[in-house]
Structure formats: structure tokens, C-alpha cells
Amino acid sequence: MRPALHGVGAAGLGLVVFWQTDNALWSLMSAAGSLFPDVDHLIESWFRCRGRWSLRAFLKPDHFDAWPRLVFMLHGYEWLVLLLALAVGLESGSLFHFTLGYLSHLLLDEAGNRMPGVRHRIRPLFYFLSYRLWHGFNLRIIAPERLDL
């Protein structure tokens, strides 16, 4: 899903949380949680480009197409379970709302990356880190249908 759409989703979630709770911190935490998973795109891109990273290249729709493997360490339902357990165990409303934002990001990705016009059709278990690890993060297995747009 495009970064701008995640930005809109994060802002919308933040507004809804503020409207429901009247708590600015929880609102910000939910928006931050919604944006946080995409940090892994920046990190993976930077490492793969070996110092020749550019924002212009990163923002191109086909930026990741040439890579045979995609890791995306922060995109995984396993992290969601850990975050939720921590939020409940610590009785932290802020961490709970961060986790809510994190979940919203994964759900937006799930929906957005199955819509017509996406560059790769992902497998149903794609957003489980363990599934991608099991398949060696091989793009041909975890997102096999390359679409030429």
C-alpha cells in the first residue's frame, strides 16, 4: 500500500481515538503505531542499496521488484501478539493504542495488497513473519504473481 494511504489511515485512526477517548497521547500513539511497520521498508532498502540510497528511487512503485527476497521484519502478526501481551501485562493504555495502530496497518496492507492493480499478489499468510521465514523470504514464493502495470 502506498505511504500516503497509510498516512491518511493513521490520521483517521488518530482522530477516531481522540474523539472516543479525548486523550491526545493515545491518539498520537495509535497514529504512530499505524505508521511504525513501514520503518522496515526504509531499513531494508537502505541496506540493500549499500550507501547509494535515494528517496526518489525508494518511492518508485517498482523499487522492490528487482529484489529476490523481501524480509520486512516489522510486518508480522507475531509482533502484534507480543505488543498486545505487553500492553495488557503492563496495563498500558498508550501501548494498547500503539498496538491498535499496528493492527490497523497490517489490515490496511492485507486489503490494499490484494486489490486490483497491485504489483504482486501476495499469499494468504504473507503477513506472518514465520511464513516468510519458512520460505526464505523468497519473493517468487510469498508473492508469486508479478503484474506488469
| pLDDT 10s digits, 89-146 | 999 999 999 999 999 999 998 888 777 766 667 888 999 999 999 999 998 888 876 5
Q: What angle do CA 104, 110, 112 make, to 5 degrees?
A: 95
SS (H, E, C) 80-131: HHHHHHHHHHHCCHHHHHHHHHHHHHHHHHHHHCCCCCCCEECCCCCCCHHH
Residues 6+ away with beta carbon under 8 Å from 95: 29, 83, 86, 87
**Whole-prediction pTM value?**
0.87
- Confidence check: pLDDT of 56 > 80: no
Quote the pLDDT of residue 147: 43
| 12 φ, ψ (degrees, to nearest 5) | -60, -45
1 C-beta neighbours (distance < 10 Å), count: 16
Domain count, the chain: 1
21: containing domain: 3-146
